[in-house]
Amino acid sequence: MITLTDMKLLLVEDNRELSAWLTKLLTQSGYAVEQAFSGEEASHFLLTQSYEAILLDLTLPGMTGQTLLRNLRTKQNEVPVLIISALDTLNDVVENLNLGADDYIAKPFDIQELEARLRSLLRRSKGKASPLISCGGLTYNTNSKLFSAQGHDLNLTPREHAILEAMIRNAHTTVSKIHLTDSLFTLDDSVSPKALEIYIVRLRKKIEGSGAQIITLRGLGYMLTYEAQTQ
């Protein structure tokens, strides 16, 4: 059984005061934290050490966080990466998720939210043998962050992508509207239930022909499934 004390984290943050504060709080929560204050120092650690996750700032001296992340993924290193950055526009979020980050939290942040994101990221990474998640002819590559249907890449908006990712990671199980709304937290803080329904309608059209379908479970939420269902 894996416990938090087995969870070794690499914190890459050049603000030494913030790094010390985060290290203290995460250590109190049971994590083992190693600090790096530059991209080059983090790269050196990664040559000889393995980590359960990396907390990565983007605006580092010398090698940027984006460069470090790109190098990791180029080398097929799939360690989960949680971006912590003051760069919080939608374009910043999408760009870095596309580079291979697993999640993104903007500064300033609440430590409870950071720990919740970290726990979720670690849970998702356990036992992940393949980067591909499939539901019928619909496939999601967790490395490239691309969806494909019958071998053809899908053109999705960031919000559609976030919703479909949450659903394919929970394929064949009911996903509540609250969970889907939460999946859009870093993209939009005010997603209404009506807007969510519109995104679902658009996604249904985009995955047509893949064999996968999104069904509505009234009062419960939605389900992405491959098995024939009667709506």
Q: What average pLDDT score do residues 195-214 get?
A: 93
Residue 34 lies in a domain: yes
User: Does residue 109 fall inside a structural domain?
Assistant: yes
Task: Tell me what the pLDDT averaged over the chain comes to.
Answer: 84
For residue 210, give the nearest of 162, 158, 161, 168 by alpha carbon. 168
Q: How far apart are CA 158 and CA 64, in angstroms?
A: 24
Same domain, 34 and 101: yes
Residue 57 corresponds to which tokens in the numbers above? 């700032």
> Picking from 71-75, 129-133, 151-155, 172-176, which range would have the lowest pLDDT averaged per residue?
129-133
Query: ∠ at Cα 222 (221, 225), nearest 5°?
Result: 150
For residue 9, the model assigns a pLDDT of 92
pTM comes to 0.54
- CATH, residue 58: 3.40.50.2300
**What is the DSSP secondary structure assignment for residue 157, as one 8-state letter?**
-
The C-alpha atoms of residue 88 and residue 105 are separated, in whole angstroms, by: 8
Give the model confidence (pLDDT) of 126-162 as tens digits.
Answer: 655 456 788 988 998 876 788 999 888 999 998 898 8
Q: What percent of the chain has pLDDT over 70?
A: 88
85 shares a domain with 160: no
Q: Label the pairing between strands 213-217 and 138-141.
A: unpaired
